[in-house]
A and B are shown apart, each in its own frame.
Chain A
Amino acid sequence: GAVVSQHPSWVICKSGTSVKIECRSLDFQATTMFWYRQFPKQSLMLMATSNEGSKATYEQGVEKDKFLINHASLTLSTLTVTSAHPEDSSFYICSAQKDHNEQFFGPGTRLTVL
Chain B
Amino acid sequence: KQEVTQIPAALSVPEGENLVLNCSFTDSAIYNLQWFRQDPGKGLTSLLLIQSSQREQTSGRLNASLDKSSGRSTLYIAASQPGDSATYLCAVKGSGGSNYKLTFGKGTLLTVNP
What residues make up the interface of A, taking CB atoms closer than 8 Å to B? Answer: 4, 6, 32, 34, 42-46, 49, 51, 91, 93, 95, 97, 100-108, 110
Contacts and interface: CB of A to CB of B under 8 A. Distances in A.
Given A43-B105, A103-B34, 11 more contacts: A42-B106, A44-B91, A44-B102, A97-B98, A100-B99, A101-B32, A101-B49, A102-B49, A104-B46, A105-B45, A108-B42
17 contacts: A32-B99, A34-B102, A42-B106, A43-B104, A43-B106, A44-B44, A44-B91, A44-B102, A46-B102, A46-B103, A49-B99, A93-B43, A100-B99, A101-B32, A105-B36, A105-B43, A105-B45
B55 interface: no
* Chain B contact residues, majority secondary structure: strand
Given A104-B46, A105-B46, A107-B42, A43 B34 contact: no
A102 B43 contact: no
B41 interface: yes
Contacts, number: 54
Contacts of A91: 41
B10 to A, nearest CB: 10
